[in-house]
Structure 1
Amino acid sequence: MRTTKSLALAMAGLLLATTMAAAQPTEIRIGVALEPPALDPTAGAAEAIDVVVYQNIFEGLTRIDQNGAVQPGLAESWTISEDGLSYRFSLHDGVTFHDGTSFDAEDVKFTFDRLLAENSVNAQKALYAPITAVTVIDPLTVEFTLSRPDGLFLFNLGRGDAVIVAPESADNNASEPIGTGPFAFLQWDRGSRVILEQYGPYWGDKPSLTKASYVFISDTATMTNALLAGDIDGTNNFAPEALAIFEGNPQFKVLVGSTEGETILATNNRKAPFDNLKVRQAIAHGLDRAEIIEGATYGYGVPIGTHFAPHHPYYLDLTNTYPYDPAAAKALLAEAGFPDGFSATLKLPPVAYARLSGQIIASQLAQVGIKLELINVEWAQWLEDVLTNKDFDLTIVSHVEPFDIGIYANPDYYFGYNNSEVQALNETLNATTDEAQRKALAGEIQTIIARDAVNGYLFELAQTGVWNAKLDGMWPNAPVEGVVLRDIHWTE
């Protein structure tokens, strides 16, 4: 009997061990390039903050999905007044913050009163300037009153800058963030990692993951080794020049998508000869996007012909507005009074895509008679010279803010484009909430700035993720900043 009992126990132990070994993992370790300076997205501009906390720890009244569309968040529904000046939100019941305190309309009011306060340090405070009042109707109903219609209001409520915080914990969110999301903050090992754990009483659908670590690895070689050794399970944006290591490896999946980073040859439209449309058209005809994309992004950038993200439903493909045609470029320069071309400067910030693109573009434009002097600058100097003082001829930069076509309606913006038609269209767009009308208006603006060759439109920065082949549910695109965990799961 003793032998039989021992055998049964041994078999049971073996079965348990086998079951445990076969069980799907529920934890993930994600490599990210930058450590956030703090963990409160409502009080800091660094993208690295949202990478960790957006839709994980913190949530807004709305949320942005992986296609850039607005979805319900802490608000289960809303109604908009006919004049577009009032938004009434119905909030989910039974929601709690990670410290156990309840969420209700008073927290919404507190969040936006804090965001709009005179001493607010919110990086995107200007986006919420139309808000004139936030009124608590009852614990689960809150109303926003606007000074003017704002077609991006629901989208902006879904950004990391507008996540809901509680008065009990807001002051400590920089180091000990407390939100309503599916994951709660566990620990921050400075210089190493941030660890999140699944929040048991979460009000929505529970994620598959029970724990997530964001591991800070700034060096490409170190990130590569960590992936190959299994020290991390993936990264959302890996250096494209090293992707070949993983593309043929069955242990990994490479996800290539787009970001909100419109990469442009920015042009000083207020300065001769770039104030001449024919000169700008000549530059556009002189750019071979395919060669630029291959050389600067290792083939992973997505060509653009206007200032809009290709993954957005409003996007128009205008890449053929001025196709690569050196002969046409030379003819336009001659018509503009520059039969022998001219010389100009190209200021390049310290990022690989800009420096590499600059070398290629200098070679391409030299073939049509435009001789460029490449000037490498650090970010502080770029911000002062280009963005603030407008002291430049040409520069290369990625504009990473979502839905930022409105910059073309600001003649004081650094590239100095002044078009009254675009300004009027943008004003109408900002005041329009109907999706079909918004799409048409956005399309008109895209078409005009492409036709006017305001800037040289090059490519959308790619998001190139490398992940364990057994993981699924990661966002291929980055319509907003963040590595959203809610749908990530192990498949085996």
Structure 2
Amino acid sequence: MNGLIDKYLMIFNKISPDGEAGEEIEATTEEVAGALYCTTRNAKLVIRKLADEGLIRWQAGRGRGNASRIAFLAEKDDLLLQSAQRLSSKGEYKQAFELLHAHDARGDAQEKYVQWLNGHFGYSVDSTEGHDEIDTLRFPVYHPILNLDPAEIYCAFDAHMIRQLYDSLINYDYATNQVKPGLAHAWDINEDWTQFTLYLRKGVRFHHGREISTEDVKFSFERLKISRAMSWMVKDISEIELLGPRSLRIHLERPNHVFHRYLSSAGMSIVPRDLVGKDERFFCDRPVGTGPFRLKEWSEDRVELTSNKDYYMGRAHLDRVVIAFMPEGFTSPHSFANCMRLLYDDKASFDEPSPEWTVMEELNKGCLMLSWNLRKIGPHQSPTFRKAVHLLLNRRKMIEDIGGNRVYPARGYTPTEMTPLLDDVLDEQEAKRLLLESGYTGETITLSLYGSHEVDAEWLCRRLGEFGINMTVRKDSKSKIGNPALIASADCIIYEVVIARDEVCEVENYLQEGNFIRESLGVDALAWVQGQTEEALGCKSAEDRAAIFRRIEEKIREDHEVLFILHKKLGTLSHPTVKGVGLNYLGWMDFKDIWLDPSAPTGTQITTKL
């Protein structure tokens, strides 16, 4: 039926673009064929089907010179809206967006569709015949999931979703700065931090039913050794000694005083050796873990999770989570500000929320930044050129011009208590002098862009263009993050780094293959940074480690190898009847803790039939 509706709209828009439904006009099968880009024979078949469905009335011309007549019986906007709603109810959001984009030139149907989505998204109580009520959370995101394999994590959203499906041996509480039991209920660390002995819980099962064992742990970690994204976490493991089905000892080649923090990361989640070993590619598409949710469906339209009822740390309050992937440019997150749902938003700030909604905002523990590719020949090889760009940026004007959730100029990875008080670094006259000194003659600088920073990149191009610096934006697919060839071909990259786990994330910046910072540093600079990082891992004192990481940050800032641009806010907007909402260390809400207040006033729940 969807294909037939698409054909109806194609014919309507071609033959009677400004016409009204019910109006009878002259038409020929040749015109219909032209609208459909098909033969007249196929056009006649489509006309017959449309008439049978009651979408058109067709009166064939009789005799030479008598034209046929057609009447379009369905209003375009109404039909578009109904079709988009029907597709969305089946979870086929991408097709709904494409249908609206193709046929809704004025945007009227899209506006009505967004209003409908306000009711479609949210916390609802769904029901099926003969089954208990199902607490469901549906909400939109502007982040497609790139990967659900713990061995290949580059994005914070992927890491968050992996957290919903898998577990790690140890958990880390970022509020109290303490490690807590995960799949391992206890552990011992030797005096020089080169041996970690862990003891697994009994009775923890993967989603497919098998109990987890130390064999799975060993398999999971050895698998990381050949991973481009996560091999840095296991590179110092010299041996994994299995002491029994529920105890093991990890031997390191050198001391690492944050390795227990590695063990709490999403990248070191435990996977089932039987399923991954049997068909790794299938497992990557249909992952199985021990986490609070199971993956039911993952497509280009959405991801659907269902509760793991046997979860060893207590089952989630939600029975189901459905996340719809919104295409970029379809509509603003603000369009959904009144729907009964939670909204994660890293693009805009909630300036005027409805009084009954709860807004949680915090500074992103990271920043928007630009890395110069110092392994590629170009004007940016000159330190004076890089410093000139740094002095021209005018970060406060960028924040003022673009607005949204951009709040403070950045001096480093993470904001501090002093961040709101610091002045921007701006000196246009000195920058002009440095540009002349650098010998820059107008060469074009290629700025690579991944993800949702297009507005920021375009602003930078305009700003630098005012001073004669030619920059062009190349938008690369987010699915290609970590691709060495793409990184190597750009002069610079704009992206957002999230220091979600403090020093561990900084280690990742310098040791992870495919990481933008690591891959952009010059050969000598990288060798120095990696040496400093190894020295930090050997320090028992957290203060000593922090001092080394600050030294690294200061050097790459002073050499202008990276440009720290600005800090943003993260926010979650929730209805007061929805409880357990909070931002985790990745800036997302943990689905396991969300629940609906049963004393909520009538009308705050949406009940649907499946």
Same fold, TM exceeding 0.5? yes
Q: Which moved more, 1:25-34 or 1:428-437?
A: 25-34
- Residue 247 of structure 1 corresponds to which residue in structure 2? 352
| 1:309 equivalenced with 2:419 (yes/no) | no
Read off the aligned partner of 1:193 and give its amino acid letter: R
Distance 2:196 2:484 in 1: 39
Distance 1:162 1:452 in 2: 34
Read off the aligned partner of 1:310 and give its amino acid letter: P
Distance 2:188 2:215 in 1: 19
| 1:458 equivalenced with 2:569 (yes/no) | no
Q: Which aligned pairs between 1:46-85 and structure 2 lie closer than 5 A?
A: 49-52=158-161, 54-65=162-173, 71-72=179-180, 73-85=182-194
Distance 1:89 1:429 in 2: 24
Q: Which aligned pairs between 1:13-412 and structure 2 lie closer than 5 A?
A: 26-36=135-145, 39-42=148-151, 49-52=158-161, 54-65=162-173, 71-72=179-180, 73-116=182-225, 120=226, 123-170=229-276, 171=279, 173-185=283-295, 187-188=296-297, 190-219=299-328, 221=330, 224=333, 227=336, 230=339, 233-237=341-345, 239-240=347-348, 243=349, 247-259=352-364, 262-269=367-374, 274-296=380-402, 298-306=404-412, 308-310=413-415, 323-330=425-432, 333=434, 337=437, 343-350=442-449, 354-362=453-461, 364-365=463-464, 370-379=467-476, 387-389=487-489, 392=491, 394-399=492-497, 403-404=505-506
Distance 2:152 2:585 in 1: 21
Compared with structure 1, are the counterparts of its residues 418 and 123 closer, same or farther at alpha carbon in structure 2 (3 Å cutoff)? closer
Q: Report the TM-score when normalising by structure 1.
A: 0.75
Q: Map Cα deviations across residues 78-125 of structure 1 (whole Å, 9 max, x no partner).
A: 332233221112333342323332223232123223333xxx557423
Within the candidate set 427, 435, 438, 2:542 is matched to 435
Distance 2:428 2:401 in 1: 19
Distance 2:328 2:263 in 1: 34
Q: Map Cα deviations across residues 327-356 of structure 1 (whole Å, 9 max, x no partner).
A: 45456x28x836x97535332335586443
- Could you say which structure has the higher helix fraction? 2
- Residue 445 of structure 1 corresponds to which residue in structure 2? 552
Deviation at 1:134, TM superposition (A): 1.3
User: SS in structure 1 opposite 2:557?
Assistant: helix
| 1:476 equivalenced with 2:583 (yes/no) | yes
5+ unaligned residues in a row in structure 1: which ranges? 1-19
Distance 2:173 2:563 in 1: 29
Deviation at 1:201, TM superposition (A): 2.8
Distance 1:280 1:486 in 2: 46
Deviation at 1:428, TM superposition (A): 0.5
Distance 2:464 2:589 in 1: 38
User: SS in structure 2 opposite 1:164?
Assistant: coil
Deviation at 1:224, TM superposition (A): 4.6
Compared with structure 1, are the counterparts of its residues 74 and 329 closer, same or farther at alpha carbon in structure 2 (3 Å cutoff)? same
Percent identity for Structure 1 against Structure 2: 20
Read off the aligned partner of 1:426 and give its amino acid letter: T
User: SS in structure 2 opposite 1:263?
Assistant: strand
Read off the aligned partner of 1:373 and give its amino acid letter: N
Structure 1 contact 59–164 (Cα < 8 Å) conserved:
yes
Deviation at 1:293, TM superposition (A): 2.8
Read off the aligned partner of 2:307 and give its amino acid letter: Q
Structure 2 contact 464–470 (Cα < 8 Å) conserved:
no
Q: Provide the aligned C-alpha RMSD in A.
A: 4.2
Q: Map Cα deviations across residues 408-466 of structure 1 (whole Å, 9 max, x no partner).
A: 69998324274476454223113335322212221222223233332221024543444
Deviation at 1:310, TM superposition (A): 3.3
Structure 1 contact 259–478 (Cα < 8 Å) conserved:
no
Structure 1 contact 301–462 (Cα < 8 Å) conserved:
yes
- Residue 490 of structure 1 corresponds to which residue in structure 2? 596
- Residue 8 of structure 1 corresponds to which residue in structure 2? none
Deviation at 1:152, TM superposition (A): 4.4
Deviation at 1:210, TM superposition (A): 3.5
Compared with structure 1, are the counterparts of its residues 422 and 126 closer, same or farther at alpha carbon in structure 2 (3 Å cutoff)? closer
Q: Report the TM-score when normalising by structure 2.
A: 0.62
Read off the aligned partner of 2:487 and give its amino acid letter: L
Q: Which moved more, 1:154-163 or 1:171-180?
A: 171-180
5+ unaligned residues in a row in structure 2: which ranges? 1-124, 126-132, 601-610
Distance 1:45 1:364 in 2: 30
Distance 1:76 1:302 in 2: 42
Which structure has more relative contact order (CA 8 Å, sep 6+)? It is: 1
Distance 1:261 1:211 in 2: 31
Distance 1:189 1:384 in 2: 27
User: SS in structure 1 opposite 2:371?
Assistant: strand
